[in-house]
Amino acid sequence: MEVFQREDILEAARREAKEETGYDVKLTATTGIYNFMSSTNHQVILFHFIGEIIGGSLQLEPTEIIDSKWITPADLLIPDFLELRDKEVIQRITQNLISQKEYSLSLFNSSLENMV
């Protein structure tokens, strides 16, 4: 995800969700910020947000996303259920989702929380 000049992280997350899926989303919380080395040996700082679909319709960019399906967070913990990159961080995020370990978006910028 790229954050444009003068764009805050929350705006970037909403924009990316729209660009990648076609859905308009309302961000509701975060499970945290995850710092790890990717499977391609790159340093990654991942911001994970929780949100609700508030509009739009599913529209996938065929050159970027080849398939989509609705799954539960618990499905992500089933070994070999899906072919995922960086499984360890996905499992950590999933465990935080299941245990409802969530943080307020005011962590990022309290003045923007009401705009989300």
At 80 the pLDDT is 82
SS (H, E, C) the chain: CCCCCCCCHHHHHHHHHHHHHCEEEEEEEEEEEEEEECCCCCEEEEEEEEEEEEEECCCCCCCCCCCCCCCCHHHHHCCCCCCCCCHHHHHHHHHHHHCCCCECCHHHHHHHHHHC
More confident residue, 2 or 27: 27
| Domain boundaries along the sequence of the chain | 9-108
At 116 the pLDDT is 53
* Distance of alpha carbon 54 from alpha carbon 83, whole angstroms: 29
Both tokens of residue 24? Answer: 């308009």
Report the mean per-residue pLDDT for the chain. Answer: 88
Percent of the chain with pLDDT over 90: 59
> Looking at domain 9-108, which CATH architecture does it have?
Alpha-Beta Complex (3.90)
* Distance of alpha carbon 81 from alpha carbon 75, whole angstroms: 7
At 39 the pLDDT is 86
Whether the per-residue pLDDT at 27 is higher than 90: the answer is yes
Q: What is the pTM of this model?
A: 0.82
pLDDT in tens, 55-92: 999 998 888 788 888 999 999 898 888 777 788 899 99
Whether the per-residue pLDDT at 115 is higher than 60: the answer is no
At 41 the pLDDT is 93
* 77 Cβ contact list (under 8 Å, min separation 6): 91, 94, 95
Amino acid at 37: M
Whether the per-residue pLDDT at 112 is higher than 80: the answer is no
More confident residue, 7 or 116: 7
